Structure 1
Amino acid sequence: MRGPSKDQLAAWTAETKRVGFRQRNWSVVRRLATLAVALLLAGLVASLLDYPPTLAAACWVAAAIAGTAMLVWFFDRRRFKPRPPGTS
């Protein structure tokens, strides 16, 4: 079975470039991931250094909220940003 011809592939490439690819807004996702990891580590430190257990629990709850926000932001199609024209 043969793949698409060169003409079909060129037409598809031209149409795709005209429509424009879209990419995720990675800076927000990275910031939320960093926040979630930092809160998890802060909760671990608070737990190991015998701080009040509510402080560790608050850090872990905040980390769960940040992780959920990160996943929502990552999978929400409205959060995509258009790729600038002229880039491939």
Structure 2
Amino acid sequence: MSEFNDSAAQQPSSLRKDVEKAMQIFFSNLGDESVTDLYQLVLHEVEGPLLEAVLRHTGSNQSKASIMLGLNRGTLRKKLKQHGML
């Protein structure tokens, strides 16, 4: 296991706390409205900024980005297209 994963398992990360806070805000703003497909909604909302940040970090090198994300390059390209980034 990597050092990052070891430390993440020991204590909640800042990212995790941010997600928890965002979800609390989402639910408080939801009121009486019902929501479906929340999992897909959250994944779609998070995936775009994640891809943008990793590409920026790798200088738009898709091979490096795919390695960093743990995706194969074809899957990365598919996701980039889904988010209008390609």
Is this a same-fold pair by TM over 0.5?
A: no
Higher share in strand: 1
Q: Which has the higher contact order (CA 8 A, sep 6+)?
A: 1
- TM-score of the superposed pair, with normalisation by structure 1: 0.29
- TM-score of the superposed pair, with normalisation by structure 2: 0.29
Task: Compare CA radii of gyration and give the structure with the larger one.
Answer: 1
